[in-house]
Amino acid sequence: MLLDNDLPRLPEIEQIEKLSNVEQCELWPMEDIKREYLRLRPNGNWFSQGIMVFFKSRLAHRGYQFKDNVYFISSEKLLDNERGHTIRVMSLIDGDIDNISEFQQYESNSEATNALLDYINNLDL
């Protein structure tokens, strides 16, 4: 007859925490995002000097790669209006850039960043 003490011990299984989508993201410096855009779209003008000057655009220092997309924030100042921030997404398949938020939806970079992180965390795996 086998006693509990005679049974082989199984290794304890550690509780594995599920990482949030944001924790799974790879951070991309903005220069890498621009470089990848031009690789995917050699004739693309989204980041061109002329476009950036016309819209008085500023770009976040980094973006967040999740799956086949890189998410980032841009801000623009049109005419005498206040500067507004927009959440963008660039496809790593074809370099297409779209808005995730409304154009200039956010008043500050921190407000846009918080919304972006919430958006990424709510994406389906």
pLDDT tens string 98-116: 999 999 999 999 999 999 9
Give the pLDDT confidence score for residue 16 in this predicted structure: 47
CA distances from 102 to 4, 25, 26 (A): 64, 23, 25
pLDDT tens profile 28-57:
999 999 999 999 999 999 999 999 999 999
Any domain includes 65: yes
Q: Which range of residues forms the domain containing residue 78?
A: 22-121
Amino acid identity of residue 123, one-letter, is: L
On whether the pTM is more than 0.85, the answer is no
Contacts of 51 (CB under 8 A, 6+ apart): 45, 57
Any domain includes 41: yes
pLDDT band at 13 (very low <50, low <70, confident <90, very high): very low
Any domain includes 91: yes
Reply yes or no on whether the pLDDT at 61 is more than 70.
yes
Reply yes or no on whether the pLDDT at 59 is more than 70.
yes
3-state helix, strand, coil in the chain (%, to 5): 30, 25, 45
Any domain includes 93: yes
- Provide the number of structural domains found in the chain: 1
Give the pLDDT confidence score for residue 18 in this predicted structure: 63
Any domain includes 17: no
Any domain includes 67: yes
Any domain includes 1: no
Q: How many CA atoms lie within 13 A of 72 on its CB side?
A: 26
- Residue 75 burial (CB count, 10 A): 20
Tokens of 67: 């799956």
